[in-house]
A and B are shown apart, each in its own frame.
Chain A
């Protein structure tokens, strides 16, 4: 496990909530930010702020360097090229980029987009809009209740049936409710067996929940788009990104979806030629340099801790939690017991919000509700569920405080 001192890197965690040390277990929603990230942002504003790419003066140089350097660090974190990275505010905005920049002029009537029942609304709702606009169809892969896995055999059938009509496969790398991990190798085998390399449907990977604790090598991943949220990996709120494979972003299949200053090569009153540089072409207007600086600092922080160590740390907390929860008769764990970073559960007879409220009174922050996955909850007949999700600063003491908090529920609601 990571050293307990990691907690001291996060100033927000030194406070008490309702008279107790805060056990922050809502990390899948957003993580806390280490002091180095906060310092990097302050440092940027106190020494280097100006607009980028626009001024010939020292501060503009510094701001431009900060922006470019941050982009390189973030791209390198994903083993991607800097010009494969579009900085966005979050995963949702990244997915919308796929819609406006790719799907909107690719999908035709009768085409098919594949997604799954466990997808987050960030992708599901966006894809629904895209297919509705085009008269295309959205096919939802089922989720196996025992393995927590998306049914890839069903995908095989769908691809065989609709072959060239399938334009995009959008899947979630790690489910934010079940914690299960998509088998990308198998996905790739299935696609490769059916399509010639040039005819493959484009694959969008929602990596919001895997990026914080997995080494993702974009150059080797069998995906065309990868969306992530910087704020879920210790970066500032309002930071995230979309990775687009270079062959795709340089092709006419991928077009700018935001227009304005900074993304152009030349402009006449009637028409505009866009910048040939993808990094510029997909960044219209003044970017949020400070957020990019903060996210780059977060990537370095994670690199410093070591992603393998981070993954070990989280998975040990998951097994410890699952062990403790299975001893509580009224608790039913509904997530993959081997999940990388989270545990979801139901508490018999008490609504998820009431569970969360009582845990809050004990200084424990958890998430309750449908976690932006209504179709999954409906399919499995859960009105709402409770989720604990871990980060580098969590300890077994946090889990103990959480489990002790659960005992309070019996006191309030009766046995």
Chain B
């Protein structure tokens, strides 16, 4: 728990980045963790060159899932879709500062990335 609820996540929760909806978007998807009820939906505006020009998300759920999505959304703005596809667990650890997470919470941490990858599939 020591590094789970640090300042960075809590401030992210209070002031989520890119929260809301986009007037125009090219890709979207929603994800949920059935066992706990965390939900996220993302909208992406991707250029023909495959660059993520804009992103917005909405969701409901625990601090970990929502704060991670917020950090992730800011992180991928301006990136290419292949860069996003290359993101790993380690990226999430670096972004959030969470280095250790219980097996039952791992899916909370991963939900944002899983939902983003889903959006890019389409």
Contact = CB atoms under 8 A, between A and B. Distances in A.
Interface of A: 18, 350-354, 357-358, 360-361, 368-370, 377, 383-384, 412-414
Interface in B49-63: 60-63
A18 B1 contact: yes
Interface of B: 1, 4-5, 10, 35-38, 60-64, 102, 105, 108
A406 to B, nearest CB: 15
Contact of B61 (A18, A358, A383): A383
A18 B2 CA distance: 11
Helix, strand, loop or mixed for chain B's interface? Answer: loop
B105 A357 contact: yes
Contacts of A368: 36
Given A370-B37, A384-B37, A412-B10, A357 B1 contact: yes
Contact of B63 (A351, A361, A377, A383): A351
Contact of A353 (B1, B10, B36): B36
A360 B105 CA distance: 12
A107 to B, nearest CB: 28
Rank and list the top 9 A-B pairs by shortest CB-CB distance, nearest first: A361-B1, A353-B62, A351-B62, A354-B63, A384-B37, A369-B36, A412-B5, A383-B37, A354-B62
Contact of A351 (B1, B4, B35, B61): B61
Nearest to A368: B36
Nearest to A372: B35
A415 to B, nearest CB: 13
A353 B67 CA distance: 14
B37 A369 contact: yes
A128 B66 CA distance: 33
A384 B60 CA distance: 10
Contacts of A352: 36, 62
B5 to A, nearest CB: 5
Nearest to A351: B62
A260 B18 CA distance: 60
A350 B60 CA distance: 11
Contacts of A361: 1
Contacts of B105: 353, 357
A20 to B, nearest CB: 12
A368 B105 CA distance: 12
11 contacts: A351-B61, A354-B62, A354-B63, A357-B102, A357-B105, A369-B35, A369-B37, A377-B37, A384-B36, A412-B10, A414-B10
A357 B36 contact: no
A370 B62 CA distance: 13
B1 A358 contact: yes
A414 B10 CA distance: 9
Given A353-B105, A354-B5, A361-B1, 18 more contacts: A350-B63, A351-B62, A351-B63, A352-B62, A353-B38, A353-B61, A353-B64, A354-B62, A357-B5, A357-B62, A358-B1, A358-B5, A368-B36, A369-B37, A383-B37, A384-B36, A412-B10, A414-B10
A357 B4 contact: yes
Given A353-B105, A354-B63, A413 B1 contact: no
B98 to A, nearest CB: 12
A403 B32 CA distance: 30
Contact of A360 (B1, B10, B61): B1
Contact of A383 (B60, B64, B102, B108): B60
